[in-house]
């Protein structure tokens, strides 16, 4: 809390210094990093002793360091604490405000003058009444014992005044004494000389000189005392003045404007009008005179304090109006500005909490928006931005809107590249695009979703490819054909695999046609023909369970034919061509259209009569 | 009753009948011999042949079969025929020396065949039935 008060005070002083800065036309520092600009113009009053405020950039430069006033954590924290505090409208607070108002009313300059004209004594009584209220006000926590400090200073000033009067009285007495001594000395010095013998005359002269010495000595002592008393009186008054002025300046710098007014009015009541000039250092005098255009006097501070009260009162009215119009952004800025000035004033302390919460909510959301943008969480930023746009009539942050739009556009571009790369199997490009999208907007929901989907698809794809390889090795073409959709998708990025899959699918399609043909023959009762169709297919196609099953069934149905052929083949393999030929003839006898039998007969006939011709 | 010795004429008749019968049998026998000269050759069991021709290699059989189809022919090798013997079809090779013989489908022949090493029935002789 103390740090916040100090910072706020520094800001207040810096604001005053900034007035000089602006009037002198000096340039603001180059950046916010505490580096001062080129040349001596960038230095403030007393070098870097006093802080200097640069309104354009809202920078406060002090002792070589610069920071942004509106972005100062201490100030922000103090203001935020204020926004969370309840309004000070308790009975105690209201009573304190009433007492302070009464003190100010009693000390009002206009009333003083009117009262003085009407009754010279009344101003004194008003002063006494106001003085009596000071300890009463000091009892309240909000007063921070400042009214006590004012009361002490007033009392000291009065005591100094009384001391001066006593010293003046003493000096008057001393003055009487001095006059008497001077008379006696003059009388003694002007006594005529007697005609006496020289010895006696000489003795008389020396006696007269001896009588003059103590008179002269005493006269010198009295004069010295007078001077000392005068100096004492001047010094005590000066001391009291200086201390009082120091208190006034202290209250003013501390933004205790009500107390400043009370102190200045007490001061002007105690000290004469000509003694209002502030006896401060030359630089501070210049600070005040150039800021206000007036000589640095107590009246000037009185005027500034009064101006601050007026400014705060009007500012609060403006804030209330803006809040009523829904312009929370402007209301927040105005409230922050007048808070820096009038933190301790009743208008600020009694500002309704419900209204302050609206401002607080706005500031918190803008801070969250800034944080989200900094963290590149543009989803959250957009959400907050939309909320502010909807609920705060005068909210406008084009930089945030641009940043969000730019981020969305960039991410969509990268994601589109990633999707395309995934489709074409360009994994390197896909990963690069996803990484770039993540750099722009790390927490974009689509990035995680797409990446997860791509990786899942890649995983599924890889598993499908592995399964396809396995089935190909097993020559389980029927299973491949049954799940051809999955395998077609898996081999989309692999031309070799795709070609092999296509070959397998064509084979299976042909096999299905053969099975269909066999089925048709069987339906017509031509089991031998159906068997022969499948027998030929078995030689052309890899092992197929369906084919084997149907073939087995047909073997049973066309048993004689199949048996004859088997016998013929068996005998042929043994070299029994004649017998084999006979069996082929038998098979052909059973199933005349048999191609196997016809080929067997032809083949064996050629073997038996190699040089023969077939009819 | 009159008892008596059979008549002599009846015995003669009987003897003549017997003689005629015997003559007839002889005639038949000889006639058959003239019409089926391969009658002493065993008949081929086609089923057995088809089931196990290997055990019949070198044997000579006769069979009566109908010409079904000319399977192949060559100038030196002869003619390979498919013949029907009973319910079965077999292949027989008619060597070149029988080239003058006109063999046509539907004709019935009696073949004397030898079972070759390769199981083929090679015709040794044949007559048209």
HEC profile of B41-69: CCECCHHHHHHCCHHHCCCEEEEEEEEEE
Cβ distance of B49 and A609 shorter than 8 Å: no
3-class SS of residue B12: helix
A:B CB pairs within 8 Å? 89
Asked if A92 and A140 count as a contact pair (C-beta separation under 8 A), the reply is yes
- How far CA A210 is from CA of A179, A324, A587, in Å, comes to 20, 94, 186
The two structure tokens encoding residue A219: 């006269």
Flag if B120 and A571 touch (Cβ within 8 Å): no
Q: Which of B73, B75, B91 sits opposite A582 (nearest CB)?
A: B91
Length of chain A: 615
Contact assessment for residue A415 and residue A437, using Cβ atoms and an 8 Å cutoff: yes
Residues of chain B with Cβ-Cβ distance to A601 below 8 Å are 71, 82
Please state, in angstroms and rounded to a whole number, the distance separating the CA atoms of residues A131 and A143. Answer: 15
Of the candidates A578, A611, A615, which has its C-beta nearest B118's C-beta? A578
Report how far apart, in Å, the C-alpha atoms of A69 and of each of A42, A54, A79, B40 are: 18, 10, 12, 141
Question: Is the backbone of residue A165 left (phi > 0), alpha (psi -120 to 50) or beta?
Answer: alpha
pLDDT digits (tens, 9 = 90+) for A538-554: 888 888 889 989 999 99
Chain B residue at shortest CA distance from A615: B72
pLDDT digits (tens, 9 = 90+) for A343-379: 999 999 999 999 999 999 999 999 999 999 999 899 9
Predicted local confidence at residue B36, as pLDDT: 62
What's the pTM value of the predicted model, to 2 decimals? 0.50
Q: Which value, to the nearest 10 degrees, does the dihedral of the CA atoms of residues A212, A218, A224, A228 take?
A: -170
What pLDDT does A24 receive?
40
pLDDT per position as a tens digit, A21-37: 334 433 333 434 433 33
Cα distance between residue A11 and residue A491, in whole Å: 71
CB contact under 8 A, A578 and B49: no
Helix (H, G, I), strand (E, B) or coil at A551: helix
* pLDDT digit string, tens, across residues B68-117: 999 999 988 899 999 999 889 999 999 999 888 888 899 999 999 999 99
- Mean pLDDT across the stretch B29-44? 69
Cβ contacts of A473 within 8 Å, gap of 6 or more? none
The pLDDT, as a whole number, for residue A110 is: 54
Q: By the CB < 8 Å criterion, does A578 face chain B? A: yes
Flag whether residue A577 sits within 8 Å of chain B, measured between CB atoms.
yes
What's the pLDDT score for residue A51? 53
Question: pLDDT tens digits for A488-526?
Answer: 888 887 889 999 999 999 999 999 999 999 999 999 999
Nearest-Cα distance to chain B for A490, in Å, is 56
Nearest CA in chain B to A568: B50
Residues of chain A with pLDDT under 50: 1-4, 17-50
* A161 CB-contact burial (10 Å; exposed 0-12 / middle 13-18 / buried 19+): middle
Interface with chain B: mutation pick from A565, A578, A602, A604, highest number of B CBs within 10 Å: A578
Question: How far are the Cα atoms of A164, A225, A545, A573 from residue A232, in angstroms, in the given order?
Answer: 8, 10, 130, 151
- What ipTM was predicted for this assembly? 0.77
- CB of A609 less than 8 A from some CB of B: yes
| pLDDT in the model for residue A45 | 42
């Amino acid at each position: 809390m103390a740090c916040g008060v100090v910072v706020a005070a520094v800001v207040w002083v810096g604001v005053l210094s900034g007035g000089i800065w602006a009037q002198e036309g000096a340039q603001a520092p180059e950046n916010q990093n505490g580096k001062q600009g080129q040349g001596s113009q960038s230095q403030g009053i007393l070098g870097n002793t006093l802080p200097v405020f640069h309104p354009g950039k809202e920078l406060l430069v002090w002792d070589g360091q610069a920071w942004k006033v509106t972005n100062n954590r201490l100030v922000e924290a103090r203001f935020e604490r204020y926004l969370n505090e309840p309004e000070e409208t308790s009975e105690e607070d209201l009573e304190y405000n009433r007492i302070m108002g009464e003190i100010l009313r009693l000390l009002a300059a206009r009333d003083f003058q009117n009262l003085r004209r009407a009754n010279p004594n009344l101003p004194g009584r008003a002063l006494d009444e106001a003085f009596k209220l000071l300890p009463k006000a000091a009892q309240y926590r909000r007063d921070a014992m400042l009214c006590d400090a004012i009361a002490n200073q007033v009392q000291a000033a009065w005591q100094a005044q009384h001391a001066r009067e006593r010293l003046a009285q003493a000096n008057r007495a001393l003055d009487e004494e001095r006059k008497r001594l001077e008379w006696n000395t003059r009388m003694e010095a002007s006594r005529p000389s007697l005609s006496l013998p020289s010895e006696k005359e000489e003795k008389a002269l020396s006696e007269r000189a001896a009588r003059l010495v103590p008179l002269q000595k005493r006269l010198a002592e009295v004069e010295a005392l007078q001077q000392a008393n005068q100096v004492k009186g001047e010094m005590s008054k000066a001391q009291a003045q200086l201390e009082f002025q120091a208190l006034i300046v202290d209250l003013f710098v501390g933004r205790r404007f009500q107390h400043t007014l009370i102190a200045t009015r007490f001061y002007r009541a105690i000290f004469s009008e000509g003694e209002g000039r502030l006896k401060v250092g030359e630089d501070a005098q210049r600070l005040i005179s150039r800021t206000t255009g007036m000589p640095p006097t107590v009246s000037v501070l009185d005027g500034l304090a009064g101006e601050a009260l007026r400014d705060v009162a009007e500012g609060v009215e403006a804030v209330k109006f803006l809040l009523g119009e829904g312009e929370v952004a402007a209301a927040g800025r105005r409230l922050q500005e007048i808070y820096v000035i009038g933190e301790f004033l009743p208008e600020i302390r009694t500002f309704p909490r419900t209204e302050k919460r609206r401002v607080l909510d706005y500031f918190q959301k803008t801070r969250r928006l800034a944080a989200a943008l900094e963290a590149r969480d543009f989803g959250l930023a957009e959400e907050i931005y939309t909320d502010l746009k909807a609920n705060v009539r005068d909210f406008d942050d084009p930089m945030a809107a641009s940043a969000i739009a730019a981020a969305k556009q960039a991410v969509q571009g990268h994601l589109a590249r990633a999707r395309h790369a995934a489709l074409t199997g360009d994994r390197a490009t896909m990963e690069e695009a996803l990484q770039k999208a993540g750099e722009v907007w790390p927490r974009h929901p689509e990035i995680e979703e797409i990446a997860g989907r791509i990786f899942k698809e890649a995983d599924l794809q890889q598993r499908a490819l592995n399964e396809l390889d396995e089935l190909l090795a097993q020559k389980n073409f029927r299973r491949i054909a049954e799940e051809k959709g999955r395998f077609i998708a898996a081999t989309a990025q692999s031309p070799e695999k795709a070609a092999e899959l296509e070959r397998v699918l064509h084979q299976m399609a042909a096999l299905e046609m053969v099975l269909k043909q066999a089925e048709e023959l069987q339906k017509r009762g031509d089991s031998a023909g159906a068997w022969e169709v499948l027998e030929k297919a078995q030689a052309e196609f890899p092992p197929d369970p369906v084919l084997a099953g149907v073939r087995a069934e047909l073997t049973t149905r066309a048993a004689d034919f199949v048996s004859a052929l088997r016998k013929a083949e068996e005998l042929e393999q043994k070299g029994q061509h004649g017998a084999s030929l006979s069996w082929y003839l038998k098979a052909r006898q059973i199933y005349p259209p048999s191609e196997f039998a016809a080929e067997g007969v032809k083949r064996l006939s050629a073997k038996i009569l190699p040089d023969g011709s077939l009819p | 009753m009159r008892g008596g010795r059979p008549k002599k004429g009846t015995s003669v008749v009987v003897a003549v009948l017997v003689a005629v019968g015997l003559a007839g049998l002889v005639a038949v026998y000889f006639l058959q011999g003239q019409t089926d000269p391969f009658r002493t050759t065993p008949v081929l069991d086609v089923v057995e042949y088809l089931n196990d021709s290997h055990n019949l290699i070198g044997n000579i059989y006769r069979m009566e079969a109908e010409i079904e189809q000319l399977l192949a022919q060559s100038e030196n090798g002869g003619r390979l025929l498919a013949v029907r013997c009973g319910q079965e079809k077999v292949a027989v090779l008619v060597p070149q020396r029988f080239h003058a013989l006109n063999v046509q489908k539907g004709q019935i022949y009696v073949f004397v065949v030898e079972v070759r090493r390769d199981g083929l029935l090679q015709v040794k002789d044949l007559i048209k039935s």
